[in-house]
Amino acid sequence: MRRMEMLKAREILRLKHEIGLSLREIGQACNCGKSSVSETLARAEKAGLTWPIELTDKQLMSALYPPVESKTLPLEPDMDYVFNEMKKKNVTLMLLWEEYKKKNPAGIMYSQFCERYRNFKKHNKISMHKEHKAGEEVEVDWAGDTMSYVDPSTGEIKKAYLFVAVLPASAYPFVYAYGDQKTPNWIDAHVRTFEYFGGVPKVTIPDNTKTAVIKSDLVDPVLNKSYNEMARHYRTTLVPARAGRPKDKAADENMVGIVSRRIIAALRNTQFFSLYEINQALSEELVKLILRPFQKMQGNRLTAFEQIDKPCLQPLPATKYEYSDWREGKIQFNYHIEYDRFFYSVHYAYVNQSCSVRATTRVVEVYVGNERIAAYPRNYNASKRYTTLPEHMPEEHKAVSGWSSERFLSWAEKTGPHTRELIKQLLESREYPMQTYRACMGIMRFGKSYSAEIMERASRDALDKNTCSFKYFSMILKQLTVRVTTISDEKIIQHDNVRGSSAYTGGGFRA
């Protein structure tokens, strides 16, 4: 930042002496106040500087801000104050030094000020990969160490995985345990984190776990769609750490170590019987951790959070994020899309197009590109798996691309009367025939691998058992095929050229 300030000082002098602009015009051009321009020109005049200037930045700094001769030692800057102020957005060492010099004209120079700051961080072991700004970032990851609990109903020992989040500027942590590391728990952990903090950081830094990043890339990583939607809801930006670069989230790596030593190790001899009990214990140990005084600095993690991060966090949205599962699919020829073994209709004009399905516990939505083309209350009725709107159907319930009830019946009739009757009953088993087209198509495909005779026998068995569905037909067909193969293998071949056992009686050969 010192170089930038000196560039601005040079520009002020150039605009004044070379172009002759007024103080106001120079201030507008250099994005600073008229008083700052006046002070810079006065200091240059006092130092006897003329344009053009051949001095280096360091020489120009010393000329504009010469040390003040004093018999008393200069007042040392408060480095605890400087360290905390540096965490605030847009605050620089140059700004803090200027404020210090304004209050203490006889104070140390900028280079000494920077050296004091570097020594302060080194002495207190707080030298960082980067300066973290207040309320700007949260780093998240799963802890490497796990905990365990005993399932009371089975006696099975189950693992508990710990999610760890930390605000780097204040080292303020959050910990919560889950039964697995899948996407729903990953996103729920973020929701709990933001609720715990009482606000949302501007940037969220996860690891390259599959629940966060589908495809890792240095420039343009592909993010998990549900995770990205959650981030938009909370107005936070996802910036995954680079693969193999733990320093990109060094604060969380450090916090994972602290959690392992201070919390997991402290609870190592405690027997738990549920995730709820583990999270209760984690909550108590977490309070102890955040109230534990810093070793090299004043205060603790709670006071640091309240002073540094909390005032700068974004407010929580009006509603919590509800987890949504995104899946990619293709609209079938019967203009339905499948989600979790249930089927929802869309307008028949979208047949064969790729789409995205967004599902929550309450609704199912279908998107083509960014356009939502259908939305339904989520269906949980296993006896009625198809949800079809009449306005989505083509005229007279005919499917596009030539698919129709008549076509399936015509094909079945070529195979035999039992197959036709099976397809007929299958088509009549639903409110709308097109809801059975997928099953009819599946039965048609069996005709490519099995003879008409086998298809007829399987159809007759299905009709006799009143099980007119693709699932049961395929089971009957396989069982029938096994029986036919077994009988064929056991059948003795009779032919004049085939000798029987009598031909080898006595061990001799008979012509």
Burial class (CB in 10 A: 0-12, 13-18, 19+), 465: exposed
- Whether 282 and 166 have beta carbons less than 8 Å apart is answered as no
Supply the DSSP symbol for 200.
B
Gap between the Cα atoms of 415 and 408, Å rounded: 11
Q: Strand pairing of 325-330 and 354-359?
A: antiparallel
Q: How many CA atoms lie within 13 A of 455 on its CB side?
A: 24
Q: How many CB atoms lie within 10 A of CB 241?
A: 23
Gyration radius (Cα) of the chain, Å: 38
The angle formed by the CA atoms of residues 394, 420 and 467, to the nearest 5 degrees, is 95
Lookup: tokens for 304: 């640091």
Residue with tokens 């009006």: 318
Is the pLDDT assigned to residue 122 strictly greater than 70?
yes
3-class secondary structure for 212-258? CEEECCCCCCEECHHHHHHHHHHCCEECCCCCCCHHHHHHHHHHHHH
Q: How many CB atoms lie within 10 A of CB 283?
A: 12
**Beta partners for 138?**
204
φ and ψ of 370, to 5 deg: -100, 5
Residue 23 CB contacts under 8 Å (≥ 6 apart), including other chains: 34, 37, 38, 41
Q: What letters, b where the CB count within 10 A reaches 16 and e where it falls short, cover 262-271? A: bbbeeeeeee
Compute the mean pLDDT over every residue in the chain, rounded to the nearest whole number. 80
- Whether 253 and 276 have beta carbons less than 8 Å apart is answered as no
Question: What pLDDT score was predicted for residue 2?
Answer: 43
The angle formed by the CA atoms of residues 127, 141 and 218, to the nearest 5 degrees, is 75
Is the pLDDT assigned to residue 397 strictly greater than 60?
no
Question: What pLDDT score was predicted for residue 511?
Answer: 41
Supply the DSSP symbol for 167.
E
**Positive or negative: CA dihedral 367, 373, 374, 375:** positive
Q: In what order do the strands lie in the sheet with 386-387?
A: 336-339, 342-345, 386-387
Question: Taking Cα atoms as reference points, which of 385, 383, 425, 384 lies closest to residue 405?
Answer: 425
Residue with tokens 């009830």: 405
pLDDT (tens digit per residue) in 3-35? 447 788 888 888 888 888 888 888 888 888 888
pLDDT (tens digit per residue) in 99-120? 888 888 888 889 889 988 888 8
Mean of pLDDT values over 40-54: 84
Q: What letters, b where the CB count within 10 A reaches 16 and e where it falls short, cover 166-198? A: bbbbbbbbbbbbbeeeebebbbbbbbbbbebbe
Question: What pLDDT score was predicted for residue 485?
Answer: 63
Mean of pLDDT values over 386-415: 70
Burial class (CB in 10 A: 0-12, 13-18, 19+), 158: middle
Supply the DSSP symbol for 346.
-
User: pLDDT band at 260, cuts 50/70/90?
Assistant: confident
Q: How many CA atoms lie within 13 A of 180 on its CB side?
A: 4
Least confident residue range of 106-120, 145-159, 366-380, 399-413: 399-413
Structurally, what CATH architecture does the domain formed by 137-312 represent? 2-Layer Sandwich (3.30)
Strand (E) positions, 351-401? Answer: 354-359, 363-368, 371-377, 386-387
CA distances from 39 to 12, 25, 50, 58, 263 (A): 11, 15, 16, 19, 56
CA distances from 193 to 26, 171, 176, 188, 493 (A): 48, 14, 9, 9, 76
Question: What pLDDT score was predicted for residue 420?
Answer: 84
pLDDT (tens digit per residue) in 459-482? 887 877 777 777 778 887 788 777
Gap between the Cα atoms of 286 and 268, Å rounded: 15
Lookup: tokens for 133: 């700004």
pLDDT (tens digit per residue) in 142-151? 888 889 999 9
Give the start-to-end residue ranges of the domains of the chain. Answer: 2-123, 137-312, 325-397, 405-490
**Which one is predicted more confidently, 215 or 39?**
39
Least confident residue range of 201-205, 338-342, 470-474: 470-474
The answer, as to whether pTM is greater than 0.85, is no
Q: How many CB atoms lie within 10 A of CB 163?
A: 21
